[in-house]
Amino acid sequence: MRSEYPEKNKRKLCESSLLKRKRIMGHGNQIIGEDADAIHLPNPMIGFRTLADLCQIHRSLPEAATGPPYFYYENVASTPKGVWSTISRFLYDMKPEFVDSKFFCAAARKKGYVHNLPIKNRFPLVPLPPQTIFGAFPMTRRWWPTWDDRTKLNCLQTCIASATITERIMKALKDYDEDEIPPESERKKVAPLEPDEVEMLLGFPRDHTRGISRTDRYKSLGNSFQIDAVAYDPLVLKDRFPNGINVLSLFSGIGGAEIALYRLGIPMKNVVSVEILEVSRNVMRCWWEQTNQRGNLYHLADVQDFNADRLEHYISSFGGFELVIGGSTCNNLVSSNRHHRDGLKGKESSLFYDYFRILDLVKGIMARYN
């Protein structure tokens, strides 16, 4: 049963599992690393490679981390001190890969990833999406101010300002000639991006979120993957599993991971999708049906209710999972949350420990079956 105070108890339970794993691996009884340790973000944020020359960087994986099952975990890059150190420690002490989506599309989104996918022979999705603001929105050339030399949308927001604030900014900008540079406080967005424009920037099909409220569209897109950035990594699965894969998709949202796999041409035989929001599950289900997926889609609501018995049922039914993918809630991690930026101790962001718990169960159950 779910704990009455899950955010307080989850970490202790996961620490126990981690200690057990380390004892089995012969690493003693000490948990290596401290939460206070900071992982510094690289500049530029390009992860294990650069798109310019597609260089190959070798890394060695701990034996316990080798796949399958492969796993892929995502969250915001800029977190409170110690968060990524803790995430790394629970995920086999693997080094995070930090990537800014500006190297894949016209919008900047800084994310961190921990995964055990091979990093050789990775290539971006084709066709490449628009890489600049003018490429994504050609009509803006006519009125783009000369003093704004940005080529990327470096502050992609999935919420909009009030009409009062927007009107004030518009009036302030009208007081300046085209060649005059207004104060930085007034150099803000004047018109919000429409949901379909955000969909395009994030790599989703046009009107993917159509049919739900405007607020829900912004919210669901704000919590989603940038598909072109994420798809760079699972491409290596295509040759390894030509007949398709079974996917456990945690915190599925509106199906960013599934769309990435589909665009990569990787058949999905069975997808167990766990997502708390019904509107997001409906969006995912509609896309699944509209694209005539041949596999089976199983929807569950809450990762906190996903236990060993349910996992055993799915693993015994179709032989296990080749990929466990997901990004837990970032509410308590983002800098915009000034009141509850509690890191992994926060009520929402402590769901990371459920990702670890479920991954640990999957690996344990599949080891028994194999």
Q: State the DSSP code for 69.
A: S
d(Cα 194, Cα 176) in Å, to the nearest integer?
26
Structure tokens at 149: 């030399």
Structure tokens at 215: 């607020």
How far apart, in Å, are the Cα atoms of 293 and each of 221, 259, 300?
22, 11, 18
Contacts of 315 (CB under 8 A, 6+ apart): 321, 362, 365, 366, 369
3-class secondary-structure state, position 158: coil
d(Cα 71, Cα 248) in Å, to the nearest integer?
9
What confidence score (pLDDT) does residue 205 get? 96
Work out the angle between the directed axes of helices 6-24 and 352-369 (0-180°, nearest 10): 40
d(Cα 249, Cα 257) in Å, to the nearest integer?
8
Domain architecture of the chain: domains with CATH: 15-128+218-369 (3.40.50), 133-205 (no CATH)
What confidence score (pLDDT) does residue 3 get? 45
Using DSSP bridges, classify how beta strands 97-100 and 245-250 pair: parallel, antiparallel or unpaired. Answer: unpaired
Handedness of CA 284, 364, 233, 81 (dihedral sign): positive
Burial of 186: CB neighbours in 10 Å, binned 0-12, 13-18, 19+? middle
One-letter amino acid for residue 306 of the chain: F
- Phi/psi at 324 (5° precision): -115, 115
Print pLDDT tens along the chain (370 aa): 454 445 657 777 777 777 766 655 555 445 444 455 677 888 888 887 655 554 556 678 888 898 889 999 999 888 888 889 999 999 999 989 999 999 999 999 999 999 999 888 788 888 899 999 999 999 888 878 777 788 888 766 655 556 676 677 667 666 666 666 666 655 555 567 889 999 999 999 999 999 999 989 999 998 899 999 999 899 999 999 999 999 999 999 999 999 999 999 999 999 999 999 999 999 999 999 999 999 999 999 999 999 999 999 999 999 999 999 999 887 776 666 565 667 778 777 889 999 999 999 999 999 988 7
d(Cα 299, Cα 140) in Å, to the nearest integer?
41
Work out the angle between the directed axes of helices 214-222 and 278-290 (0-180°, nearest 10): 80
pTM as predicted: 0.86
Buried-state track 227-251, b at ≥16 Cβ within 10 A, e below 16: bbbbbbbbbbbeeebeebbbbbbbb
pLDDT for 295-321, tens place per residue? 999 999 999 999 999 999 999 999 999
What confidence score (pLDDT) does residue 32 get? 45
3-class secondary-structure state, position 296: strand
What confidence score (pLDDT) does residue 64 get? 86
Contact 100, 76 (CB under 8 A): no
Using DSSP bridges, classify how beta strands 70-76 and 323-326 pair: parallel, antiparallel or unpaired. Answer: parallel
d(Cα 228, Cα 257) in Å, to the nearest integer?
10
Which residue is listed with tokens 């981390």?
65
What confidence score (pLDDT) does residue 63 get? 87
Contact 45, 111 (CB under 8 A): no
